[in-house]
Structure formats: C-alpha cells, structure tokens
Structure 1
Amino acid sequence: MSIRVQTAPFDPGAELNAVHAGDLSVGAVVTFTGYVRDINQDESIKELFLEHYPGMTEKALAKIRAEALQRWPLIDAHILHRVGPLSLAEPIVFVATSSMHREAAFAACEFIMDYLKTRAPFWKKEQTATGTHWVEGRDSDTDAAARWDTTDKETR
C-alpha cells in the first residue's frame, strides 16, 4: 500500500492486517485513523469535501514517507488518504508504521500525521448549517510539526 490517495472508502482493520501480513521482522505496528467529525470549531458539520492536486499530492506524501523512513529504523510506512465527498464518521486518513521496536513506530507515525496536516496539499471544505466554507490551517498543527524540525533555528 505505501502511498494511496483515493475516493473509495476503506476498512482500517483490513489495512492494518495488510501492513503486518506475516512479516516476522515486525515487532510493532502503530496506526492512526482519522474520521470525519460531526463538529468542528463549535459548528455542526453535515459533510466534508477534500480537494487535492493529483500528482503533486502523491509526491508530497512520498516525500513525507521517505523522510520518516530516513529518520527512524522502520520496516515500512504507509499513508492512505481519502479525497472527494466524505460523510460523517467515515475514515479520512490511515497511517501505519512498522518497525522492530515500538519507539520508532510511535514517533514516525506521529511525525507523518503532523507533516500531513501541514505539508500535504489537501484542502477541506465543510458543509454546515450556515453554508459551505474552506477550513483554515491551525496554529496548533503548525506548532506540532515544528517540533520535528532538525535544522538549526538560530542560523535562519
């Protein structure tokens, strides 16, 4: 699976089983599954639409995956992201990292999610009772991703 961007729904349990798939070197698999919530910033959500830029999106996800594989001793890293119209409670994103030990798998999974929220070209449009609007990025997501920055901040 490694990188997939798709409109079709997916089963997180089946995706998890595919990650391990009898690989005896895997000692840990950490996953994150994100779902469409019914409320965002105190407003009821009726539907979510995820837009992306085909080709560019996959390249960005591959770059995030490659960086995770470089930073931690992973066996593999998988990213599955939905686009298009999404109903409440549907899974949006699935990230799985596998390694021999849990520490690398936990850190890499968190890193991938932080970078997906801030560096992947996805745009969210919410349908609410008051109309349709694009969702702005959050400072908390930017702050979470910044902690992974390994460049010397004093030389900038």
Structure 2
Amino acid sequence: MTEIWQQSPDGRPLVIDPEGGYHAAFLPRTADAPRPLAAFEPFVTACLAALPEHQREPGARLGLELFLLGAARRFRHAEPLADEELLAGLADLFERHGIARGRLLDLLGELPALERAQATRQVLDEGAATVEEWLASHNQNLTVRVRERLPDWARDLEA
C-alpha cells in the first residue's frame, strides 16, 4: 500500500492499494471486536432501504448521507463515544452498507463548508431529531419516512 496526499479528519494518512480501489484511514477491526455503533446499525439499514428508488439523484444521496451524519452526531450523545471510535465505527458501518470510506471522509471534510447552507443544516437537524425519536421508540417506519423526504432533500440541496 502507498500513501496518498489526503488525510482523515483526525490527521492520519489515507492509504490506497496498488489498483487504486481501496481507501483506509482506520485499522481493520477483528471479527470478535465489539462494534461501537452496533445499536445504530438498524437505523442506518432502514434509512438506506429508501435509497434504491432515488439512486440516480445525487442530491438525494447527499441528503441521505447528511441525514445519517446528523443522526450519528446525536447518537453519539446518547451513547458516548470518542471521536476515534465514532469515525471508525461510522466508516465500518457505512462501508458495510455501500457508502465507501473515502466518500464518508470526503463528506466529513466538506461538512464545514456545506453547513453554511440552511438546507444542509436542516437535513442534519432532521437526522438528529429522527434518531432521537427512534431511540425512544423503535416502532417507526424509517424507510417510508426517509423515502418521502429524499425528493425534498434532493431539491433543497441542489438549489
């Protein structure tokens, strides 16, 4: 593996394999290691189930990723995690569900600039509020809720 010029949010270098296909900023977890965001995974799975209908809409995908980041921030307050654990856990979790580590790291790098926009802040806040409701009662149909919001996020974020 060789280093490339990018760095993870905590300053560690990203690495790439010789074929250029795999970015990694975190050491791989062993199979028996506890996953700090295991309780958050059902939330992510339910939300991502809404995406296939809107896969070709970049604004919808960005909206869902921002929604999940907002939810992860709030989840972090409910289940205290160190920055390292949160980022590594999110990277593992998102990668298992089809969002590349590199994409997550890019989004985290762009987030300060994106947060200047009202639409971005609203999507992040909506993710935070939704995960809070979900933690109180797991009986919500998140997939339907997210599916209904994706077109709105796409429109608002692309405007």
Q: TM-score, normalised by structure 2?
A: 0.28
Largest Rg, 1 or 2: 1
The structure with more strand, counted as a fraction of residues? 1
The structure with more helix, counted as a fraction of residues? 2
